[in-house]
Chains A and B, each alone.
Chain A
Amino acid sequence: MRLMPRRVKFRKSHRGRIKGKATRGNTLAMGEYGLQSLESGWVSAEELEAGRVASSHFLGKSGRLFIRVFPHKSVTAKPIETRMGKGKGEPAYWAAVIKPGTILYELTGVPEDMAKQTFNRIAHKLSVKVRMVSRSA
């Protein structure tokens, strides 16, 4: 199921600016291996879900995947062929704001080569460049 906040204070948010690198959520917390972002950007709930599905198809019942980010930000869009003005568009999707260094996913209970293959599959679903990190490295 796509991730989305249950309750929000406001439906629409400002775009904001992504400055600097991640100073929180940039270390492994639960798993043996992690997928770390190398870029900043918005990762949509759809992308996160696609990554989760890709990993569960590959891993089956083995291992456990943790999603370390949550799409808190609503992103609005205007309908196509609409003239400018007339206010802000309607919320189109939810996204997680990602800074370089953020750990997006963590994995445990699988050998390293399997983790590598899983993260490779997930990376194809994401709109930011990522790299695999492990506790031993």
Chain B
Amino acid sequence: MSAIGLPLAFRRRTLPGFSLSLGFTLFYLTSLVLVPLLALLIRPWSLGFEGFWDAVTAPRVLASLRLSFGSAIAAAAIDSVFGLIIAWVLVRYRFPGKGLLDALIDLPFALPTAVAGIALSTLYAPSGWIGSILAEYGIKIAYTPWGVLVAMTFIALPFSVRTIQPVLADMGKDAEEAAATLGATRLQTIFRVALPMILPAILTGAAMAFARAVGEYGSIIFIAGNMPGISQIAPLMIVIKLEQYDYRGAAAIGVVMLAASFIMLLALNGLQAWAAKRR
């Protein structure tokens, strides 16, 4: 057969439809994703590296990047702690209504961000249910950077819970039983055995929560206040630059955010590899 000379990858396949499906897939991806991304990667450099650097280190831009990244880290940390507790409760405990609790976790994932945005803004405003209670203690959330943190915590929670949950469920109790027979108390077992075993999942969940939160827009802009230099997130800076027809500046910020996503993706892959090695 004439196919013998071809590299293995391109010989005739047993199943039909390879070239059609792969071809369509590549076409779709190239036109929708790769080409526009290319535009993003090229644009910031039209005035050279200096132009890029100036665009990115302008005070307002820097402040917005600091706010987006800083809040996302904090939100990921909060979501990791509470996500772990929620996953633990969902996997290890039995109680009426657990199914409902489980289903609710996906809410930030399914709810449109604008809906979440106006709801959170109303809730934490001085006249809102929560905002009014906090106001009595002099705490302001809405229209301050704290609002950004609250919105990010909301939006990223499912990423933490849903990453830890299956790992915890699969873990089995052998190791914990062994620890008990060796004389460990329940608390010792949890901290010395169970938690270290799910640490990779906790970190992965934190990374995914961060990635989601750092680029979030819709659920934040209503509650944030959007004051220049104080409570403007990076995606908002992009929108502002576009409205000013500063395509280059907008693209510069976009590239920074894309780089952050890329690094996060690498970190995640690294985490998976580390976890797999321990098996």
The answer to whether A and B assemble together is no
